[in-house]
Amino acid sequence: MSKQSRLRTDTITPNDNKSFSIGTSLMVDGWYEDLELPAVIGRHKAKGIPLDPLVRGLLAYELGDNFSVLQAGQWLNRSEVREYYELPNFNVKTLYRAIETLGRNRESIVRELQDRVLKLLGCETTDVLMDWTSIVYYGDMNELAKFGYSRDHRPDKKQVTLGVAQLAPPVNVPIGMTVEPGNINDQEHFRRTYDQVRNVLKDGSLIVFDKGANDKRNLESIVLDSNDYLTSKKLNSSDDAVFQTFNANVWELVNEEDGVYASKRVFPSRVNYYFFSEKLKEDYLASRRRKVERLLQEARSTQDSLDDGMELPKRFRIDNPLVNVRYEHQTKLVGMDEEAALRFLLDEVVDGDEGCFVLTSSRDMVATEALKIYRSKDSVEKLFHSLKSEIEVRPLRVWSTNAVYDEFEGFIAQLMISLTRYFVSPVKGVSTMFISNSLQKLMAC
């Protein structure tokens, strides 16, 4: 534990949230020392205010209010906070420059962090889960900001994409994060994320990811590194032929509650695991039914407008005085009753593969194990939720490429929370927000 942490431990008392929270700072300081971050981060700034107290303060702020870098600078300039971190009064631009320094040196910092994390954990295996998400970007002066597929449901905004590599359960500790342009696809982004962690993986590690990143080049690179992969794959005609032979009396029942059946086929270079889920099929068909009913209602609205000689509802037409549009609409509802219309729409949106999915791997295992391991990838989704909703990695408002790596601060903060969750038994199953709120209840007098 750092010097400041030891000096302040005797002053911890419960207080209101207007006071300086010592609990979060103590946790950050402890991991900062255990991960030897003064040697990893501090050496990247030789003049002026040292980098270490600024980064420790930023991390504590990330796990507290976390509104913006500007407000983090205001918080760090409070007298009691500056006293704790032994900081002089400084301009907030110093904090922005600190973030840019981390951004410029992110790759070397990540690689040194990986060594120290694995040393702390003492893992016998280094199986890794990978996934990718996007963060909305506001502004137009950053080369990483691009329009692309938005996981934040904001296709109207530019974004950057984040990739995360996390040690598989029961560890669930992140060991890599990549930030790439907003229009990069998962297959390409996989290569960046995998390259960042490949040198610290032990031979025979299992890399788990979804079908968006599944392509021949990625699979081959994993195998060439003496590692294994487990991923989902898009269904093709040969997969369809397998599912057409489905027989509940022949396939293995692997989950009676959800009606999940499995069949395994071994090929020279891979193993395919075929699954059919009755529950998944029911859920998907219910979703398709809702879509069909929505489409039918839209068609009725259009037909009613045509019958009455009225303009179409605004959502079905271009409403721009600078655009001249001439078009005609004709629905297929004429001469078709409701039951026939529903059947027609169901034929259009249902393809017969409902409830079917295929996993493929270079490792031969029982189907139930493959399914369990692949489903553990949900832990990365929880990590993204923690980053976005609890640590609150927010939509970006920065104007330089290196400053985009403000998200890197969130990654280090999440790493510290994950290590706490792994090593401290009482909080193994609790949320990041609960841990953060509990720490903030410890206040400095």
The whole-number average pLDDT for the span 387-405 is 59
Q: Hey, where are the domains in the chain?
A: 3-107+401-444, 233-363
Contact between 186 and 142 under an 8 Å Cβ cutoff? The reply is no
pLDDT of residue 1: 40
Tokens encoding 402? 């290196």
- Residue 289: Cβ-neighbour burial (10 angstroms; 0-12, 13-18, 19+): middle
What is the C-alpha separation between 356 and 12, in angstroms, rounded? 56
Contacts of 421 (CB under 8 A, 6+ apart): 172, 427, 428, 430, 435
- Give the three-class secondary structure for 128: strand
pLDDT of residue 12: 33
Contacts of 364 (CB under 8 A, 6+ apart): 266, 271
Nearest alpha-carbon partner for 144 in 107, 116, 182: 182
pLDDT digits (tens, 9 = 90+) for 167-210: 999 999 999 999 888 899 999 999 999 999 999 999 999 999 99
If one compares 270 and 25, the residue with the highest pLDDT of the two is 270
Name the band, by pLDDT with cuts 50, 70 and 90, for residue 4: very low
Q: How far is CA 268 from CA 9, 79, 335, 363, 364, in A?
A: 61, 67, 55, 11, 11
DSSP assignment letter at 272: E
Q: How far is CA 226 from CA 195, 205, 314, 337, in A?
A: 14, 8, 58, 60
- Stated as kind and residue range, the H or E segment containing 101 is helix 92-104
Name the band, by pLDDT with cuts 50, 70 and 90, for residue 15: very low
pLDDT of residue 299: 81
DSSP assignment letter at 18: T
pLDDT of residue 407: 72
pLDDT of residue 144: 77
